[in-house]
Amino acid sequence: MATFLKFLFHSRNELETGGRSSLPVQEDASEPEKVCPNCHLSIPLSRLWANDNTCTCGFHFRMSALQRIAFIADEDTFSEMFSDVSTRDPIQFPGYQKKLEMTRISSKEDEAVICGTVRIGGVECCIFVMEQYFMMGSMGTAVGERITRTFEYASEHKLPVVGFTVSGGARMQEGLFSLMQMAKTSGAVKRHSDLGLFYLVVLTDPTTGGVTASFAMEGDVILAEPGATVGFAGARVIEQTTRKTLPRGFQTAEFLLDHGFVDAIAPRNIQKNMIAELLKLHTTGEEDEQ
Amino acid sequence: MSSNTAYEKVKIARSNKRPTAVDYIDHLLTDFIELHGDRRFSDDGAIVGGIARLNGRPITVVGIEKGRNTKERMQHSFGSPNPEGYRKALRLMKQAEKFHRPLLCLVDTSGAYCGIGAEERGQGQAIAENLMEMMTLKVPVISIVIGEGGSGGALALCVADRVWMLENAIYSVISPEGCASILWKDSAKAAEAAENLKLTAQDSLSNGLIEKVIPEETLGEETFYESLKNQLISEYEILAGLELPDLLEQRYQRFRRIGCFETIDE
């Protein structure tokens, strides 16, 4: 825990750490070592994965959606839903079809979110996990539709929803259609909420733009991973428009905690237990018996 | 309809010669009493709201105001609301719900305010809360994009039963300049981006994302306001005729059906 606290003290905002692009990418499985951007130690991949993709200094590396599901789900309980929903390029944006095809090949995913049902600590729930390697987790019509269906399924089956966000915002290649997904998903979250059902969201690095301004901020409980960049407007844009130096740690998870927009920081070594406990606190007694 | 290119429309939509929200309030409504503050932090000048009468009946109006000259523009944060602006808007919406007044939103913003304080006070959370709460607001809601409909900052007042746009208004997920600089690293390609983003009122209508385009031939003249006022009166009448569950279900479905996706049968 002491090393983890040390990390918290050194939490930096996106610009201080050199921007998003400098963060290590997890694509090349053959690469034997990763350099931690926080403490600069080289970590063998196998040790990194054994340690839930965190460095001993407390730095949390990003996870792919599938890694995330393996990390959080009780073994063999995840069942994917709505994977057949895909976008149709609603405004025929130049180059978008091609980009989608390329991304599908490089990411081995078909969209920027994976949804389904799962058990976490024995509690059945719906889950959505956004995928950073698919166009930076941007929300287009397919992402909006999958997340909306997840909440509607959860409403119908009286299930809680656990969500992991990572997103650059609305997907501009789908124009106004993608902006409308913010309202659509928010409507589904509201209906789920009005039924007295529980929605827990975990903000992971980075959660920004239209996703921050919709379902990422609508959880009954909002957790965030240590050091994650979370904000609405981009740090660089704010710096350029205001011509002011951003405060230390601006738009980090810890910054949001300080300002009252996050319930708690959830480091990975205790994250699954935190989520499971919170889910159990929102179930009725009989479900606890299972 | 006009034959301006998309980027020409962007420029017209941004023109400081256009009527702003307070002009619409002055001409469409009577007995306007402005109400200030979000009761949490401060009073955001970018949002102008209060109670007035439409054709003699009480109505709540919330508008994003850009200001008509430099001094006013400063006072109104150039029409870019801070979180307290969206919270002030939500407070007035909830007040409308309590007293069964219909709601009129006038939207004209390049986007939510971009600044350190806005992030510290939860710009994302403020917008998200409006999206959720407007979806189930128990009164008829009509939103009109009168100039710029800039991204989430505009959507936060557009979760409505009817969304109308002025003929030269725009409604977009991102500014054409922003889009060009991200995609092509060249903000000079904004005209091309504007074309591709399908952000004009006519595009929005043909894409089924709004219900009506308001012609601008007589923009700012008494006949313009008179006609718009009559359209509002009859539309609120139609919405008032719906049972509450139907009103809310139709509003939910209005957004629920938006999506151009396909499902592959496996």
Residue B173 lies in a domain: yes
Residue B196 lies in a domain: yes
pLDDT of the residue at A288: 47
In this prediction, residues B160-189 reach a mean pLDDT of 93
In this prediction, residues B168-174 reach a mean pLDDT of 97
Q: Rounded distance, CA A224 to CA A262, Å?
A: 7
In this prediction, residues B93-111 reach a mean pLDDT of 98
Distances from the Cα of B227 to the Cαs of A156, B59, B107, B196, B224, in angstroms? Answer: 44, 18, 19, 32, 5
- Asked whether the beta carbons of residue A180 and residue B265 sit closer than 8 angstroms, the reply is no
Residue B233 lies in a domain: no
Residue B260 lies in a domain: no
Query: Which two structure tokens, joined as six digits, stand for A86?
Result: 């895909």
Name which of A180, A181, A237, A259 to mutate to probe chain B: the one with the most chain B Cβ atoms within 10 A of its Cβ.
A180
Other beta carbons less than 10 A from residue B201's beta carbon: 25
pLDDT of the residue at A21: 46
B255 CB neighbours in chain A (<8 A) are 180, 183-184, 187
Closest partner residue to A231 (CB to CB) among B119, B121, B252 is B119
Q: How many Cα atoms occupy the beta-carbon half-sphere of A196 within 13 Å?
A: 3
Residue B24 lies in a domain: yes
Parallel/antiparallel/unpaired status of strands A33-35 and A42-44: antiparallel
Distances from the Cα of A235 to the Cαs of A20, A22, A129, A265, B210, in angstroms? Answer: 11, 15, 24, 21, 32
| B3 pLDDT tier (thresholds 50, 70, 90) | confident
pLDDT of the residue at A1: 42
Q: Rounded distance, CA B203 to CA B198, Å?
A: 6
- Buried b or exposed e, range A188-211, using 16+ CB within 10 angstroms: bbbbbbeeebbbbbbbbbbbbbbb
- Asked whether the beta carbons of residue A179 and residue B151 sit closer than 8 angstroms, the reply is yes
Q: H or E stretch including A275? A: helix A268-281
- Asked whether the beta carbons of residue A259 and residue B115 sit closer than 8 angstroms, the reply is no
Q: Which domains does chain A have, with CATH numbers?
A: 62-289 (3.90.226.10)
- Asked whether the beta carbons of residue B152 and residue A178 sit closer than 8 angstroms, the reply is no
Strand partners, B200: B170
pLDDT of the residue at A289: 45
Q: Rounded distance, CA B74 to CA B170, Å?
A: 23
- Asked whether the beta carbons of residue A213 and residue B159 sit closer than 8 angstroms, the reply is no
Q: H or E stretch including A113? A: strand A113-120
pLDDT of the residue at B260: 65
pLDDT of the residue at B50: 98
Other beta carbons less than 10 A from residue B155's beta carbon: 30
pLDDT, tens only, A116-162:
999 999 999 999 999 999 999 999 999 999 999 999 999 999 999 99
Q: Rounded distance, CA A288 to CA A281, Å?
A: 9
pLDDT of the residue at B188: 83
- Asked whether the beta carbons of residue A237 and residue B123 sit closer than 8 angstroms, the reply is no
pLDDT of the residue at B266: 42
> Which portions of chain A are predicted below pLDDT 50?
1-9, 20-23, 287-290
Residue B105 CB contacts under 8 Å (≥ 6 apart), including other chains: B61, B62, B63, B89, B141, B142, B143, B144, B157, B158, B160
For residue A148, the chain B residue with the least C-alpha distance is: B256
Say yes or no to pLDDT of B53 above 50: yes
- Asked whether the beta carbons of residue A145 and residue B266 sit closer than 8 angstroms, the reply is no
Residue B142 lies in a domain: yes
Closest partner residue to B198 (CB to CB) among A175, A217, A238 is A175
**Does a cis peptide bond (omega within 30 degrees of 0) precede residue A206?**
yes
pLDDT of the residue at A11: 58
Distances from the Cα of A160 to the Cαs of A157, A200, A284, B12, B246, in angstroms? Answer: 9, 8, 12, 47, 27
Residue A222 CB contacts under 8 Å (≥ 6 apart), including other chains: A201, A203, A216, A261, A262, A263
Structural domain of B47: 6-228+241-252
Report DSSP letters for A73-93, one per residue: SPTT--EEE-TTEEE--TT--
Number of domains in chain B: 1
**Which of B1, B6, B51, B24 has its CA nearest to residue B194?**
B6
Closest partner residue to B114 (CB to CB) among A142, A172, A241 is A241
Strand partners, B33: B51
Closest partner residue to B263 (CB to CB) among A84, A175, A216 is A84
**Which of A74, A118, A56, A76 has its CA nearest to residue A268?**
A56
CATH number at residue B119: 3.90.226.10
C-alpha A192 chain-centroid distance? 20
Residue B44 lies in a domain: yes
pLDDT, tens only, B65-91:
999 999 999 999 999 999 999 999 999
- Buried b or exposed e, range B25-64, using 16+ CB within 10 angstroms: bebbbeebeebeebeeeeebbbbbbbbbebeeeebbbbbb
pLDDT, tens only, B56-66:
999 999 999 99
Q: How many Cα atoms occupy the beta-carbon half-sphere of A258 within 13 Å?
A: 16
B122 CB neighbours in chain A (<8 A) are 217, 259-261
- Asked whether the beta carbons of residue A179 and residue B255 sit closer than 8 angstroms, the reply is no
Q: Rounded distance, CA B192 to CA B204, Å?
A: 18
pLDDT of the residue at A32: 78
B266 CB neighbours in chain A (<8 A) are 84
DSSP-based three-state secondary structure for B130: helix
C-alpha B228 chain-centroid distance? 16
- Asked whether the beta carbons of residue A177 and residue B265 sit closer than 8 angstroms, the reply is no
For residue B174, the chain A residue with the least C-alpha distance is: A172
Residue B76 lies in a domain: yes
